Every structure is written in C-alpha cells, then in structure tokens.
Structure 1
Amino acid sequence: MTTQLKPCDTTFMIGKWMPSDQKTLSDWLLLIMSKAENNKSPLLPAVERFKQFIETDPKAYMFFNQMFSQVSRDKALSPGGLPQVRDYHHMLQLMNVIMTHAPDFNKSGLVGCPFNAIFDWSMATKGGWAGFLDQKVNAHLKEVLNEWGKFLSSPDSAYVLSDDPKSGWFGADAMAAMPNFASEFQCDPDLPGYGFKSWDDFFTRNLRDGARPVAEPDNDAVVINACESAPFRIARDVKLRDEFWIKAQPYALQFMMDNDPFVSQFVGGTIYQAFLSALSYHRWHSPVSGRVVKTRMIEGTYYSQTLSIRDDASGPDLSQAYIAEIATRGLVFIEADNKDIGLMCFMAIGMAEVSTCDITAFEGQYVKKGDQLGMFHFGGSTHCLFFGPDVDIEFDTHQQVPGHGSSNIPINSRIATVNTRKR
C-alpha cells in the first residue's frame, strides 16, 4: 500500500526562525536600531575587541566593508523584508544592544536569532561569504555569542518569561503557539516564569516523564527521532567528497566528519537530516540502543551560507546541507546493539546563534533508545543521522515529503525501520 505524502507548504521559513509575519520582525529591528542610535554607552568588551579586530586585520576590514557595500542600495529592505544595516559600525552598535537583551516572544518566530536578522542580507554577498568563512572572524563571533550566552544563562535574562500577552513567553500569544506546555514540560505554573531561572533554563527545558514515549523500546529494528524535528533530506550512497557548495548541496562525508578515522565506514551509506523549530524541545535523544564509542566537537562557522542560494530571507536555512560540512557541530558515534545497524553517528549542527552543541553523553556510556545525548542552546538548529552502506533502512517521515515546509515529528517517535541484512 502506497502512503500518500503531504506536499510541503513552502510559504513558511525553515524552522520558523525568521518571519512568517515580516511586519512584526521589521518593527522589532527598527526598535533595536532606535535603541542603538540613542545608546551612548561604550561598546561591551567582546564587541569592542571585535571592532578592534576588524580595524586592524586587513582581510577582516575588507570583508566587513565589502559585505555591506555589496548590498543593493536601491532597495530599502533586505530579502527578509528587514531595514538595511548600513555598515560595520552600525552592525556593532546593534550587536551591543542585543548583548543585554533576551528575545521577546513574537509571532514572527524570531526566537534566539537577532544577530541573524542583522546579517540577513550581507551574508549573501561575496564579501559576506568570504568573511563568515574566515577562521579569525568566527573566533570573534564565538566570543561575542559566548558573552551573550552568559547573559541568557543569568537571572537577568528571565524578564521575558512573563505573562505579557504579546511579548511574554507565558502570555496568551506564546501559549497559543505552545499548547499543553505545562503538561508536557517540567515546570511550575504557580511560580514566576513557571520556575525557570533564566532564558537558557527555559530553552533547554526538560520533558515530563511520559510526555514523549519511546517507540517500541524493545525493538532494536526501530530507529527513533533523535530531536523534535522536521525531516529535511534523506540521501543515499553518500560520497566521501563532493561539491557541497553548489546549489544542490550534496553531502561530503569527509568534511562533515572533519576527516575522522570513522568516516570510511559511512562511505556509500545513508544520511537523514532534520531541523528543529524555534519552539522545539532542544535536547537530543539516542536514536538507537548501544554504546557510545566516541564523541567530538568540531569548531566551525556561524553565519556562512552558500552563494548558490541567493536572497534567502532566513539564511542560512536554505543552506542546511552546506553548513553540515562547515558549521560548528558535535559528533556522537554509537555502536548499536542491533548488528544490522552496527556503527552509526548522530551529528548536531549549529546554525547562526544556535551554535552551542552541548554533548552530555560520554565515551563508553551505554545508552538506551531515548536516553539523552546532549542539547542545543538558544533555539532551534539542524542535525543528521549517519548509517553505513550495508544498512537496509526504510524511513517513516510521517506522511511528509522531506523539505523546507515539513513539520515537526515528536522526539522518540519512529522515523525508520532497519531490515535484517542478508549474510
């Protein structure tokens, strides 16, 4: 019997990070611009160091002038419908304001990614493409984002966890977007901010026991969804190396796994990629039962998108396969109990601000399907599952065609079944 697949609704942006309601987001950026214009405070230390770097490194100075000068000046708005950022001085002023702000809730879906809005158009220029690939640039971006992360992890960031009907994370608009929140997540509605101590505490919230039951926990042939995520792509017979920067964005295993010795075991195999939305549960669960044989963190980019995708209103969302080779990412290799799976790999991929891949599993640990492997901080992102060439795997995308408009499949739900190998 053939399953009828639902067509993707491409009117929404991947992961709902950037706007389905452009006016809301434009108004928000204009507000930040107004605050920046009126802010007479000096740049915060991490932002000041970034400024000094731009103005003393010849490549960075060139990149950060080109990326704004190459933006079309005959349009008032960027591809995302946002007011234009004028130059790198303006960029730094906006960053300085955002560093002490936690994201309000708004219906545009801008959750945890205000820096992405600042770079919305410059990312797609040749100067932006070169600049956001530069190792020194990314080192400074990491420092800035880490400092912002400290604020989001502090009690000072909890002010947005209010019941304000429009901007509060427990107001009427937010609760309509996150129905059944109190019954699904560990919280106390009787406490201020439902008991969450900071913005990051809220974003890395835990599920209540039983909220997402593990599909067929005793059946090792069933692979479960490792993240609360929507299917993006299924690729088979994946090559060791490929031209991942072209429009089709084919996967290149060697670069995805950063030349790891295990990479040879996945050549010709299968990759499943799915993305998290801004309102998703952000922890990762083991898709199989088995032993963790290796974990790795790979330093990478934050705001690079491929030039083959132009005018991406939510960049780098349309570059998800491309950033799987170059973005900050974490690898967890698991030797599955099921010999028909053998060695598989979970890869967390950071996107823009959402680049803190926090691996909590450790080498030698035995994990059951549904056990925690780690988490993202500050919002949604994307991830991949890798299977070797001899794994006969059939995916269940829950009646959806993988792509930009698919919807979340609950974590711990079945996403695949592995058939017995012919030996």
Structure 2
Amino acid sequence: MRQIRRRIGEWLPREEDVVARFRKEFAAHARKRANAAQTNSAVADLAAFIRDDPVVRMDFTRAIGQAREAGFKLGYADIDEFIVLLDAMLTYAPPFSESSLIHCPVNALLDWPMVMPSGYALFRDPAFNAHLKRVLNVWSAFVSGPYSREHLNTRSPNGWFSHEADSKIGLSQFLCDPAKPYWGYASWNHFFTREFKPGARPVAQPGNDKVIFSACEASPYNIHDNVKLQDAFWIKSQPYSLIETNSDISSMAGRLIA
C-alpha cells in the first residue's frame, strides 16, 4: 500500500515511495563519490562531535534503528553511512521534476529519524543543532555559487528551463535572458529567488501601510484576529509566538497589533 505523509511545508513529495527512491538513488551516488572526494570539514566536525558524545551517538543510533524497524527505507543503516550521504548533499543542486521535486535534500535524509522517539531528543540538543547548522550553511553557500547551476538548462526532463518546467513555472513572467549562459542566473539560489518582470504582480494599495503584502509567490496561509505579542499560533503546523518570528518585532508591535 502506498504511504502518504503530510510533510510540513510540502518541501518533500507526499508519497513515501518517491522519497525512498530518491534516498536509494542518492545513496548509490554518494558511496561512489566517497571514494574520490574529501569530506567537508563541517561534516567531519559533525561526525567527530557525534562520535565523541555518547548521549548524542546513542540517540542518533536509536533514531535510525527505530525508523528502520518501522519499515522506512532511509538509504543508510548507521551514522557512518549517513555521514557519507550528508557530505554528498553539500554539492547537490535540485533538478526539476514534475512528480518528485525535492527542494531540501537534507530533509529527505532525516525525515523519519527526526520524528522517532529518540529523534525528538536528538534534535533538541543545542550543540548537535549548531553543528548541523554549520553543515547547512555550507550547502547554502554551494547553492549560492556558480557550481550549483547544473540543472539551469533546457534539457528534459530535469532542466529548469525545459518545456516541462516552463509549463509549471511560467518563465516568461520573470526577469531572465535566454541568450545568456544560464539565462543570466548566477546560481541556483539566484534562480530560486528570481524576480518578476515589472508589472507581473501588481501591488494593491502601495501607499497604504496597513496592507500586508506577500513577499514571495504565495497566498495567505491563515488569518487570526486579536493576536497578542506573546501568543500561540501555527505556521506550517508548527507553533510560534509572534515575538519569535522577528527579532525586531517589539519595535513593530504598534503597527502589527491593534
């Protein structure tokens, strides 16, 4: 029976078999790559931290085991194998896909261990999260650089400028130049945060500071009345307080809270 999971934010496909297939295929690539590539220092530091902290090592080992015992195909069987895959992720630029688009590859690796009983303990550990943040910052730097443009081309089915992608995205709405290499985009992130052409998305009442505009290609997720500065509400199924969403929120409180 096909497993469907409502993944937060929809950054991964809902069908578990699609994500499991991605993990399996990526694991094969990562293991082949490991024979020739040097481990990134941020990943090596994370591996050393896990190795040297018995509680973290225990929680991670158990989280992996619990996910595998529950029947999920992770693409790795232990921490050492996970590290190999994580290192390969740092040079991964998402290809276009009509059916199995995976924007956040690290989420695909940790999707199930994170929600296991031992995973809840592991991902509350500040030191572990600090190391993981360093790793994610390295990936962020990669997708912000020129080597991340592997799939910024017109080749089907994985090119972001292919006919299949264009039919989903509507590239004519955006500032780009097909005559230039990579259509003028300097990186994957540059493409991902591409700008609309002037007038493509008219702004309603631009002079009215009481109107809140969407800063990206999105629609309102939820509307809640009488919100307090310290109040519980949910974004993508996660609880937040208004004061936690912006470090400058206190100075903006008078404008945001009636």
TM class by shorter-chain length?
A: 0.7 to 0.9
Provide closer, same or farther for how the CA distance between residues 335 and 163 of structure 1 changes in structure 2, counting only shifts above 3 A: same
Instruction: Tell me the equivalent position of 1:97.
Output: 88
Shift of 1:61: 1.5
Provide closer, same or farther for how the CA distance between residues 53 and 329 of structure 1 changes in structure 2, counting only shifts above 3 A: farther
**Aligned 8 A contact 2:156 2:164 in 1:** yes
Q: Distance in 2 between matches of 1:56 and 1:234?
A: 46
Q: Distance in 2 between matches of 1:106 and 1:145?
A: 23
What SS class does the counterpart of residue 71 from structure 1 fall into?
helix
Q: Distance in 2 between matches of 1:122 and 1:74?
A: 10
Instruction: Tell me the equivalent position of 2:140.
Output: 149
Correspondence for 2:129 among 138, 141, 145: 138
Paired residues in the alignment total 251
Instruction: Tell me the equivalent position of 1:54.
Output: 50
What SS class does the counterpart of residue 160 from structure 1 fall into?
coil
Correspondence 1:43 to 2:32:
no
**Aligned 8 A contact 2:68 2:74 in 1:** no
Correspondence 1:65 to 2:65:
no
Instruction: Tell me the equivalent position of 2:25.
Output: 31
Q: Distance in 2 between matches of 1:11 and 1:101?
A: 24
Shift of 1:143: 0.8
Amino acid at match of 1:114: P
**Aligned 8 A contact 1:17 1:109 in 2:** no
Instruction: Give the unaligned 5+ runs of structure 2.
Output: none
Instruction: Tell me the equivalent position of 1:158.
Output: 149
Higher RCO (C-alpha 8 Å, min separation 6): 1
Q: Distance in 2 between matches of 1:146 and 1:222?
A: 34
Q: Distance in 2 between matches of 1:16 and 1:109?
A: 11
Q: Distance in 2 between matches of 1:21 and 1:174?
A: 21
**Aligned 8 A contact 1:164 1:171 in 2:** yes
Identity among equivalent positions (%) equals 33
What SS class does the counterpart of residue 150 from structure 2 fall into?
helix
Instruction: Tell me the equivalent position of 2:177.
Output: 188
Amino acid at match of 1:164: R
Correspondence for 1:198 among 187, 194, 200: 187
Instruction: Tell me the equivalent position of 1:384.
Output: none
Instruction: Give the unaligned 5+ runs of structure 1.
Output: 1-9, 243-249, 252-272, 275-316, 337-341, 345-386, 392-423
Amino acid at match of 2:117: K
Shift of 1:22: 5.0
After TM superposition, the score normalised by the length of structure 1 is 0.53
**Aligned 8 A contact 2:64 2:77 in 1:** yes
Give the root-mean-square deviation of aligned CA atoms. Answer: 2.9
**Aligned 8 A contact 2:18 2:100 in 1:** no
Shift of 1:14: 5.4
Q: Provide, for residues 246-273 of structure 1, a one-character-per-residue CA deviation record: whole Å limited to 9, x for no partner.
A: xxxx43xxxxxxxxxxxxxxxxxxxxx7
More helix by share: 2
More strand by share: 1
Instruction: Tell me the equivalent position of 1:321.
Output: 238
Instruction: Tell me the equivalent position of 1:129.
Output: 120
Amino acid at match of 1:53: F
Q: Distance in 2 between matches of 1:13 and 1:240?
A: 28
Correspondence for 1:213 among 188, 202, 205: 202
